[in-house]
Structure 1
Amino acid sequence: MARPGKKRARAASGVRGGSRNEEPGEGGADEAVAFIAEQVAVLRKLAERHKLDVLHYLLGMTKLEADEHLRLRSKRKLS
């Protein structure tokens, strides 16, 4: 157990270049956002089916945010 106020040192990943959060073999941020949007849509339907209104709303907002991120990224790539 770590002592309060002390941060643990992170192990070096050994991967050079690319995104610092990207593991070898993973897609980039756009692929992650697309995956999240897809999964959130499924969870949103589940929340709706069980009348979990607040979760349904929050998951809808998450889906909108993911879609907007993808739209803006694709718009920048076209420029």
Structure 2
Amino acid sequence: MGIKELINFLNKLEESNIFYKLNKVRDEAIMVEITVPGQRWEVEFTNDGTVEIEKFISDGDFYDVKEIETLSNDFSD
């Protein structure tokens, strides 16, 4: 898939009123970050024409402010 397919994909998201952002985290890819209720998708269009999709799906749980400490303890450098 090339730039034409990427643009068609973005147009389809816009027509469907689906929120997205463009990002670049790897030298060889453009990332489309998509946010829908309960999910976040990362769709990467790579320079060799492949498309990689990773989905982050919520477990439906909500946490209180104490969870911020868990974030700091578990993921800080």
Q: State the TM bucket, normalised to the shorter chain.
A: under 0.3
Greater Rg over alpha carbons, structure = 1
Task: Report the structure, 1 or 2, having the larger helix content.
Answer: 1
- Structure number having the greater strand percentage: 2
TM-score scaled by structure 1? 0.26
Pick 1 or 2: higher relative contact order, CA cutoff 8 A, min separation 6.
1
TM (normalized to structure 2)? 0.27
